[in-house]
Amino acid sequence: MSTINYLTRIEFGEGEITRLPELLAALGVTRPLIATDAGLVRSGLVSRITESLPDAVVFDGTPGNPTEEAVLAALALYQSNECDGIVGLGGGSSIDLAKGVRLLSGHPAPLGQYAAVNGGVARIHNRISPMIAVPTTAGTGSEVGRGALITTAEGRKLGILSPFILPTIALIDPELTYGLPPFLTAATGMDAISHCLETYMAPAFNPPAEAIALHGLACGLGAIEPATKDGADKTARRDMMICAFEGAMAFQKGLGAVHAITHPMGAIRSLNLHHGTLNAILMPAVLRFNRPAIGAKWDKLTELMGGAPDTVITALNERLGLPAGLGALGVTEAMMEEVSHAALLDHCHATNPRRASQQDYLDIIQQSR
């Protein structure tokens, strides 16, 4: 027997951002904290939104990889202004930070005790503030995800997982991605594609998740290059948003070795590496590693992708102008050794279709140099 759950309320479409005040009011939120980043403030998007939310409080200190320190700073702002709800506005980092604030609105710190690998799932309850997630990139799908990735005070990038931290509403407006720069479009798009690939390969029995993953993968593969070349291509931008949220809807089934590696690699503070870029670089080697364990799924992917999956992703990365290897990002041999060990402790390690050892992880990382 399998228990299959889907998921949260999604409001999708061009121009939907104008409904944010209405949706907050329906949740009883009168003074929301908007968790975002400085770049979106400079772009003018935040001021455009707060014009219709005069009582909103803005936290713009989200770092590239959200940290417990930043979550606590946002929480202090939330509490001192007596906020009663949260809006996560931005990419996956801002939305995950907002989830961290939401969690601590009803639970005591520190965050590490709620990480899945620390047995934290059972410690999380639903007596927390309402939250609306508004993505401005087509990548993580955190707006429909039950997890948040946060680098804790101990320096570990950990997954906090619970259906209770799913955003109350995901407000997905493709128009918010029209001005996304080409490199960020490509890197975040490959994040979404990696989610579809990994969750399809994960061994758990969940046919709806696999169907959603394949549909999201088809959307992403068809749209990522047009969206990267022309930021105003409405069809491509819409399809990339679909790929992103379907990838996250599907990864309720589990991810795998790519994310087991990228989580600790993204926690290397001296580098502050972009999650989607790492996923893109590591995906070909992980596909090759998993091939013996996924059977007919390899053939299905080959048919859908128009060639051997690892070769297709390698060529796609090159056409998108993404870095050719981890070495170009400053990842050293010593870092590789440390990350290969940390990958064994990540929550995504257990759901890879082929069991990996530390040496396997090290081999994958070295093949991705």
**pLDDT tens digits, residue range 76-132?**
999 999 999 999 999 999 999 999 999 999 999 999 999 999 999 999 999 999 999
d(CA 65, CA 39): 14
Which of 79-83, 153-157, 328-332, 336-340 is least confident? 153-157
Q: 108: which DSSP letter?
A: P
What pLDDT does 179 receive? 84
Q: Facing residues of 151 across strands?
A: 67, 157
| Rounded to 5°, angle at Cα 346 from 149 and 207 | 85
In terms of DSSP H, where are the helices of the chain? 20-26, 38-43, 45-50, 68-80, 92-104, 182-201, 207-229, 234-250, 257-266, 275-294, 296-305, 309-320, 333-343, 358-367
d(CA 89, CA 171): 10
d(CA 362, CA 367): 9
| 110: preceding bond cis by omega (within 30 degrees) | yes
What pLDDT does 246 receive? 96
Short-list 14, 6, 348, CA closest to 194: 348
**48 close to 18: Cβ distance less than 8 angstroms:** no
Q: 146: which DSSP letter?
A: S
d(CA 92, CA 74): 16
Q: Is the pLDDT of residue 5 over 70?
A: no
List the structure tokens of 248. Answer: 């996250």
pLDDT level of residue 156 (50, 70, 90 thresholds): confident
Q: 314: which DSSP letter?
A: H
d(CA 119, CA 121): 6
What pLDDT does 1 receive? 42
Chain-centre distance for alpha carbon 42: 23
pLDDT digits (tens, 9 = 90+) for 43-82: 999 999 999 999 999 999 999 889 999 999 999 999 999 9
Q: Is the pLDDT of residue 341 over 80?
A: yes
pLDDT digits (tens, 9 = 90+) for 224-256: 999 999 989 999 999 999 999 999 999 889 999
List the structure tokens of 88. Answer: 């996560």
pLDDT level of residue 155 (50, 70, 90 thresholds): confident
Short-list 143, 142, 190, CA closest to 12: 143
Q: Is the pLDDT of residue 269 over 90?
A: no
pTM value? 0.92
pLDDT level of residue 6 (50, 70, 90 thresholds): low
Can you list the domains of the chain with their CATH numbers?
A: 9-176 (3.40.50.1970), 180-367 (1.20.1090.10)
Above pLDDT 70, what percent of the chain? 98
Burial grade of 51 (CB within 10 A; 0-12, 13-18, 19 or more): exposed
Short-list 115, 244, 246, 226, CA closest to 178: 226
What pLDDT does 64 receive? 85
Diameter of the chain by CA atoms? 57
Computed over every residue of the chain, the mean pLDDT equals 95
What pLDDT does 2 receive? 44
Above pLDDT 90, what percent of the chain? 91
d(CA 172, CA 180): 15
What pLDDT does 174 receive? 95
Instruction: Give Rg (Cα) of the chain.
Output: 19
Q: Is the pLDDT of residue 151 over 80?
A: yes
What pLDDT does 65 receive? 86
d(CA 63, CA 40): 12
CB neighbourhood size of 296 (10 A): 7
Main-chain phi, psi angles of 153, to 5 degrees: -60, -25
List the structure tokens of 115. Answer: 């990480």
Q: Is the pLDDT of residue 14 over 50?
A: yes
**63 close to 90: Cβ distance less than 8 angstroms:** no
Mean pLDDT, range 321-349, rounded to an integer? 94
Residue 320, C-beta contacts closer than 8 angstroms, at least 6 positions apart: 186, 190, 224, 225, 228, 280
Instruction: Find tokens 């022309």 and name the residue.
Output: 230
